[in-house]
Amino acid sequence: MKDSKNLSRRAFLKRAGAATATALFYSLSPINILADDDDKKNRKDEPVHSDMTYRINRHTHDKVSILGYGMMRLPYKNRQIDQEMVNQEVAYAIEHGVNYFDTSPHYCNSQSEASLGQALKGFPRDKFMVATKLSNFGQEEWSAEASKKMYYNSFKNLGVDVIDYYLLHGIGMGGMKSLNGRFIDNGMLDFLLEERKAGRIRNLGFSYHGEVEVFDYLLSINDKCHWDFVQIEMNYVDWEHAHDLNKRNTDAIYLNGELEKRGIQAVIMEPLLGGRLARLPENLVKKLKAKRPDDSVASWAFRWVGTQPNTLTALSGMTTMEVLKENVKTFSPLDPVTKDEEELLMEVAAIYAGYHTIPCTACKYCMPCPYGVDIPGNFAFYNQGVTDGTLPPLDRSAEDYKEKTAAFIDAYKKAIPADAWATKCMDCRECLSKCPQHIRIPNQMERLMDMLEA
């Protein structure tokens, strides 16, 4: 494990195989199906269903669209899920070849599964695959009875008899104690293995969010569990810089490598690092635009995860039709990154890692804050300041200190409602254990407070 973590950039390029291997892989690999004729590659207009790139699941031979629809963030209208919009987006996705839909009983105030079930009504069952999770996070949900209730509810909410992909959710958060309490001691893991045997679950896996000891343990019992897939965080910045950035156990070189060794494909979450790789600082945007002027910066991140041979599907939370259409275009078909592009992305990643942003992915697991603080909103504002260079200087005697601080406070007041400011944080620490990125939330709030109360 240590060796993998310490893989150098050069070693990575060698290992990833870069251009030659990528091109060769895509032309030979049985797990990739590309719509690759020149006509499709040059197509500028609206993609069609057959343009989508698929990967073949090595265990069940499912043909999975490389773009997966993440239902963690749905469109809202008047504080309610905008069901009409969800229906339209899901219909567009299916029409354009997307067939993997990922949800959880926990998402969108527990409304996401039912909303997806509603949107899928009427579509032939072979047009979509649903992925959902055992999200029994609270200790009151750890009993077998409560966990099974959550499991059976998912079938009802989604309107299906069989769940295509079922995950032990949030593995690693809370360490081995939480794993044992949520899945082992209560017999839920054995129960789910039996459910897969009975055919009510087609693929069983887990989503990894935290302490690597737990990840390693679950892989060590692979002979018993035969994991069909594992969901990990992976993007071109976290690939080499996760540890430098935030000391998390999300070294994707290690995680993905361990899965590859065992022939387990990866479902990718956070390909955009919580949306941050779609909002790069201007100097980095220029670098990417110089290479491919017509491409969005987000498409670079998606192409990179799609190019990795072990990726089964890459999840994207597409709340607007505009974003959905752009992502469909990126993967219709996937244009794998070349060796030059790979090198450019690693250069961009190294510069980006130097910005020291807060590694918030806007997952909202820490919410609601009992004192009303909009935790992800505050961190998004701070991160934008880091990358735009608009944060007040640390040196209070700096010439531009007053001017920059005033502008920062002014922009902050416009962006964040007064009852959700960082200054409302009471250091109650309720949010601390909930953050899969292990962010010291109250400490970060204090830093923001310092800037705002300057």
Work out whether 363 is an interface residue with ligand SF4 (CB under 6 A).
yes
CA distance 48 to 449: 50
Angle between helices 18-28 and 339-353 (to 10 degrees): 120
Tell me whether residue 298 or residue 445 sits nearer to ligand SF4 (CB atom): 445
In this structure, what token pair is assigned to residue 370?
């009992």
- Interatomic CA distance for residues 69 and 129, integer angstroms: 10
Cα 97 to Cα 166: distance, rounded to the nearest angstrom: 21
Q: Is 447 in the site for ligand SF4 (CB under 6 A)?
A: no
Find tokens 């909410």 and name the residue.
Answer: 157
| 380 lines the binding site for ligand SF4 (CB under 6 A) | no
The secondary structure element, H or E, covering residue 229 is strand 229-233
C-alpha 103/C-alpha 83 separation (Å) is 15
Please name which of 63, 65, 57, 62 lies closest in space to residue 96, comparing C-alpha atoms: 65
What residues contact residue 433 under an 8 Å CB cut-off, 6+ apart? 173, 174
User: Quick check: 381 binds ligand SF4 (CB under 6 A)?
Assistant: no
> Which range binds ligand SF4 by CB under 6 A, 50-58, 91-99, 225-233, 375-383?
375-383
360 binds ligand SF4 (CB under 6 A): yes
Give 19 or 252: the residue with its C-beta nearer to ligand SF4.
Answer: 252
Structural element, H or E, at residue 64 = strand 63-65
Q: Does 364 bind ligand SF4 (CB under 6 A)?
A: yes
Which residue lies nearer to ligand SF4 by CB, 90 or 234? 234
Is 273 a binder of ligand SF4 (CB under 6 A)?
A: no
Contact in structure between 451 and 411 (CB atoms under 8 Å): no
Which one of the spans 234-242, 262-270, 302-310, 358-366 is the region binding ligand SF4 (CB under 6 A)?
358-366
Is 268 one of the binding residues for ligand SF4 (CB under 6 A)?
no
Please report how close the Cβ of residue 430 comes to ligand SF4 at its closest, in angstroms: 4
Closest distance to ligand SF4 from the beta carbon of 252 (Å): 17
Residue 369 interacts with ligand SF4 (CB under 6 A): yes or no: yes
ω before 436 within 30° of 0 (cis)?
no
289: its two tokens: 């635009």
Q: Among residues 113 and 374, whose Cβ is nearest to ligand SF4?
A: 374
The site map against ligand SF4 for 406-425 (x = CB under 6 A) is -------------------x
Continuous H helices in 63-204: 83-95, 107-110, 112-120, 144-158, 175-179, 188-197
Question: What letter would DSSP give residue 398?
Answer: S
Least distance to ligand SF4 from the beta carbon of 376, Å? Answer: 4
Binding-site member from 183, 229, 304, 365 for ligand SF4 (CB under 6 A)? 365
Which part of the chain contacts ligand SF4 (CB under 6 A), choosing from 38-46, 299-307, 328-336, 359-367? 359-367
Q: Please state, in angstroms and rounded to a whole number, the distance separating the CA atoms of residues 390 and 373.
A: 22
Q: Letter for the amino acid at 128?
A: F
Work out how close the CB of 408 gets to ligand SF4 at its nearest, in angstroms, rounded to a whole number: 20
- Residue 437 lies near ligand SF4 (rule: CB under 6 A): yes
Q: Does 361 bind ligand SF4 (CB under 6 A)?
A: yes
| Residues near ligand SF4 (CB under 6 A), total | 28
Q: Is 373 in the site for ligand SF4 (CB under 6 A)?
A: yes
The answer to whether 441 contacts ligand SF4 (rule: CB under 6 A) is yes
Judged by CB under 6 A, the residue of 90, 435, 451, 452 near ligand SF4 is 435
> Which residues are within 8 A (CB) of 184 and not within 5 positions of it... i.e. 6 or more apart?
none
For ligand SF4, the binding residues (CB under 6 A) are 360-366, 369-371, 373, 375-376, 379, 425-431, 434-435, 437, 439, 441-442, 445
